[in-house]
A and B are shown apart, each in its own frame.
Chain A
Amino acid sequence: MLKKLATFSKKFFFLDQEERDPVLHAEEVEALRLAFKSRYHSFKLLLAANNRILEGMADIERALQGNEPFSMSFVQTRCTAISVNVFRMINDMENIAPGKYTALKDSFVAIQKRIDTLLGARKQIADRRLVIPLESLSSKMIDLVGGKMANLGDIKNTLHMHVPDGFAITAAAHEMFMQADGLQREIDRLFQVAGSDEDRNLDLVSSQIRQLIMAAEVPEPIYLAVVEAYSRMKEAMDGQEIRMAVRSSAFGEDTENTSFAGQYRSELNVSFSQFFYYYKQVMASKYSVQAIAYKLSRGFRDEDIAMCVGCLAMIDAIAGGVIYTQNPLDNKDDAIYINSTWGLPKAVVDGNDLCDLFVVSRDDNLTIQRREVQNKGYQIVCLEGEGCIRTETDDVLAAKPSLTDAQVLDLADHAIRIEQFYETPQDIEWAIDIEGKVSILQSRPLQQLEAVLPGPDLDLKRFESSLLAEGGINASPGVASGKVFKVAKKVDILQFPEGAVLVVEQALPAWAPLVARAAAVVSEQGGFAGHLANVAREFGIPAVFGVKDAMGRLHNGDSVTVAADLGRVYLGNIGPLLEWTRPEPKLMLGSPIFELLKEVSRHIIPLHLLDPESRDFAPQNCGTFHDITRFIHEKSVLEMFSFGKDHHFSERSSKQLHYRVPMNWWILNLDDGFTHEIHGKYVKLEEIASIPMLAFWDGFAAIPWDGPPAMDGKGMTSIMFRSTMNTALVPGIKSKYADRNYFMISRNFCTLSSRLGYHFSTMEAMVSERSGENYLGFKFKGGAADFERCLGRVHFIRDILERYGFRATVNGDNLDARMEGHDMDYMIGRLKILGYLTLHTRQLDMIMGTSGLVTYYMNKLTKDIDSLLTEAP
């Protein structure tokens, strides 16, 4: 019967052919061939652009998880790459179907405009005052004077605590300073010349820019405003000269998630004659190596940070320090932690000495729970003339507590009132003068971590023989291991290997850039209130401070395990301890660059055009680049298909696959998919030159299908091809692409749209020597069984695909699987899998209710696939 039909159709076919072919002249044939080639080339470029867009979107989505730092240039290059490729696709589409989809350009322009607006947006400062006295400040003015000075305004003016007299030099002044003489333009240029964020020589750029700022003149209006503010302060002090603390109060500094701890310059005990020199020093510190590195890792652009400067009258401190109104290492511990030392609080934050710790519990009377009095060998005091000095404390004083109990309670009272005002835990810097008066110098939100307890069966005794050091202070919790790398000098910074354990004598802010690259930090000196401890907590890097003789006891290159919660360091990698992990902080969340990318991505990533059958599937409804991409991809495949169908040009009309018998598969040659020009109606498998199609077919035909329906004894071949055999051999001329099993092929490309039984699937593959452009996409939908069983099969197929390296997602009963970038052999193997699955998952929806059968088929299918993959190609 089949033979008869085939013979009949052969006759029919030749008749048909003779009617058509002679109409075309040689030139017309040549012109058509050329048109096909040109369109196919555009189609190929379009597909490559489509892939690059998908990759770009995947990069953005990954970045938006917030785990990895990214810079503004990441945002710009990804957005540009996507825009350029979308534009490419529109141009290529125009070549494929001239004039048909011009409305896409309008959608593109509208979306691009929205993105450009976001990328080009600049913050405008409305209040143009250059200097504002402390008496007029409040936290409503953060955008004008930075968080540090704005908060001090609250504490002085609303809480009526003692804050030294002073004033803030504003963001408007910063803008004026940077605009004068094109300073900012020159800085931008230096950054550009230095190359990308990742590989520029930071030391060089940093020093060039800082020199530039130090050489700049302070604009006259700023100069006059500062002189006026200072004169007023002086008048209030009966004309006495006042020494000042000049401190950064930058945007983004001292906020909840980003501390910029110790990144910027602060200068103490400055006389007015030297004031502008130090003002510029603070401005320049925005470009210190650590500040630039920090900005990059936390998602700030240069222009996100206005460097406001605070000026406060100097306090001659007897004692000073830092209060944490709650435990930074345990958000369930609300006791007040007071760190204190002799002299100025700078000694506590700089982290080069030990300090006292007083812990006060919040019962009705405030009880001092704990007193840890350290030997405070050094203190920082104001010099008679100008500046400060770190001097030795005499032995008797060094060992004495730096605060009386009454002072501890007084400070605790201040702490609670400030915390109540801000309604969040605070990190407060304070000083006590010779008369015992408490001054507040700074208050900022405190970042609190969740305490993570070790697993119940962690037995520390087992590791005692490896213990190298104990009794350290937990400055930042966690456990990590790595090789010891000791840093003593600035030059050591350059050699520091990624993932090493940083070992230092003093926990100086200068080591901050290393913290993010270190596995853990160990320091001989310093406490948990220092800048470096802050930075370590922010980045989630375990740190133990106060480890006696760490520099002597740890040796470069040795593997050690740092268990910060225990205050211990062990030799070697202690596996059970390393399992005591906690979630990594998402450093980028909420940063200006992160927020910008999130905003921009709304015009790129969401997909609204989901259903190609819907009326809304139209160019003017493309609201995002993803929509445009999706629309063009869908239409380009259809255009390529109908271009072939619409031209009665035999060598490019669709052919029926003849594999022993005529099969229910039609093939459209896009370019070089056949070994030679085929004039007939059929194409034989051996005449096909398409690498991806042949690979798919290999997998499809490799192993016979054994059910359901059950074998009927007519031999393998008949069963295997029953599903795809045609009984009506005459193809309907006008059939739609989706109605049949259609391959469109070229040597390196193949797309298949197939309807086998009751499900619908499409496959698209590019396989060539260009590994970077290779990809494979597979979509699957539907079935004859009830929805739940169909869903069962969709998940079943997804599980198999994921096992073989596909990225697969299920949405409703739609399966979408993809892979890209592998070499030819690998891609051929994956295509075989798809061919195999296309045949062997037929009607599997029927058994999805029976778990025993599901397991059986899972085993059978994966076994078959493994044998397929091990076969010689």
Chain B
Amino acid sequence: MDKKQRAFKVLLVDDEDIFREATARQLTVRGFIVQTAASGEEAIAQVNADPPEVVVLDQQMPGLHGSETFIAIKKIDPLIEVIMLTGNTSVDNAIELMQMGTFDYLMKPINIDELLYKIEDAYTRKKLNEKQQREAGQPRPLQS
């Protein structure tokens, strides 16, 4: 994708201010329209108010946990693709999250290019799913 094609909305959710702001800046420079949220609750409000195409979601947050936030987002719109971020010490439920239908899974510290590719891929997937859903005329259920 070139910079122009990346002009879609990405919601970045992380309670760690420094990481969130730095990553948001890096993604903005690369052309994305970046929204941020510092908690799961904030993220859900944001998705309701102004839905993004792709969500990048930290797993470990005080308050609403990453996986709970993920489920809530998918309930609002099952077509939104979610990429999970985790610290490398909590890897236990990676598979569980994949089974619930997260698009992919990245371990911190992240490589910004890798995140960029994942966001692009998630967006492509979302657009394909939307078109296919329109063809079929029915919504795609949550993967189980």
Contact = CB atoms under 8 A, between A and B. Distances in A.
Contacts of A770: 113, 117
Contact of B128 (A41, A80, A772): A41
A84 B128 contact: no
Contacts of B124: 41
A45 B121 contact: yes
A87 B98 contact: yes
Interface stretch (A30-38, A316-324, A390-398, A563-571): A30-38
Interface string B27-44: 000000000000000000
A321 B129 CA distance: 75
Given A34-B128, A37-B128, A45-B121, A83 B94 contact: yes
Contacts of A196: 88-89
B91 A80 contact: yes
Given A34-B135, A38-B132, A87 B95 contact: yes
B75 interface: no
Most buried by B among A30, A31, A38: A38
B105 interface: yes
A83 B107 contact: no
Interface residues of B, number: 25
A470 interface: no
B48 interface: no
A88 B104 contact: yes
B62 interface: no
A88 B88 CA distance: 19
A76 interface: yes
The number of chain A residues touching the other chain, given as a range, is 20 to 34
Nearest to A33: B131
Nearest to A40: B128
Given A34-B128, A34-B135, A192 B89 contact: yes
A179 interface: no
B87 interface: yes
B113 A192 contact: no
B107 A81 contact: yes
B137 to A, nearest CB: 12
B125 interface: yes
A292 to B, nearest CB: 15
A80 B131 CA distance: 32
A770 B105 CA distance: 18
A88 B98 contact: yes
Contacts of A80: 91, 94-95, 107
A34 B128 CA distance: 7
A84 B98 contact: yes
B113 A76 contact: no
Interface in A79-133: 80-81, 83-84, 87-88, 91, 112
A175 interface: no
Given A77-B107, A87-B95, A196-B88, A34 B114 contact: no
Interface of A: 30-31, 34-35, 37-38, 41, 44-45, 48, 73, 76-77, 80-81, 83-84, 87-88, 91, 112, 191-192, 195-196, 770, 772-773
11 contacts: A34-B135, A41-B125, A41-B128, A48-B121, A73-B88, A76-B88, A80-B94, A84-B98, A88-B98, A192-B87, A772-B114
Given A83-B94, A191-B89, A196-B88, 12 more contacts: A34-B128, A34-B132, A38-B129, A48-B121, A77-B91, A80-B107, A83-B95, A88-B98, A91-B143, A192-B87, A196-B89, A772-B117
